[in-house]
Structure 1
Amino acid sequence: MTAQFTGWRKSTRSDDGNCVEVASAGDGTVGVRDSKNSAGPVLAFEPAAWSAFTGSVRAGTFNR
């Protein structure tokens, strides 16, 4: 069964529509899609993987 994502949102820092959107499904899966192509493919992440990723972002792991 494919997850049904609801509540798509994008960062308040997005500019000119060049960003990604995220949403969640009832089972906790997080979906990520291109904001310019809302009918296109969605990447799906398990809750633990998404939490690890966002934690790393907050910690500055990906800062240049």
Structure 2
Amino acid sequence: MTKQAGEPQWRTSSYTERQDCVELAALDADSIGIRDSKNPAGPRLSVTRADLRDLVSRVKAGQLDRC
């Protein structure tokens, strides 16, 4: 598949060793796209940069861990 002009540049974490992970892409100045690398044509989420920062902070702090 050839990348189309204007198509988001999807990337994974540098810590990823496998291909089954979450990918992120800048969609515009304030929006980040999130998708599953195993299903790149599947559903995608779009969140603001601020919401993504908040989510990552909460994950790192353990606030979303299940008991």
TM-score between the two structures when normalised by the length of structure 2:
0.68
Change (3 A) 1:30 1:47: same
Identity %: 36
| Count of residue pairs the alignment pairs up | 61
| Structure 2 spans left out of the alignment, 5+ residues | 1-5
Runs of 4+ in 1 over 6 A off after TM superposition: none
| Structure 1 spans left out of the alignment, 5+ residues | none
TM-score between the two structures when normalised by the length of structure 1:
0.70
Residue 10 of structure 1 and its aligned partner are, at CA, apart by 0.4
CA offsets per residue over residues 6-63 of structure 1, 9 Å max, x none?
2210012223311010011123211110101111111111222111112223444456
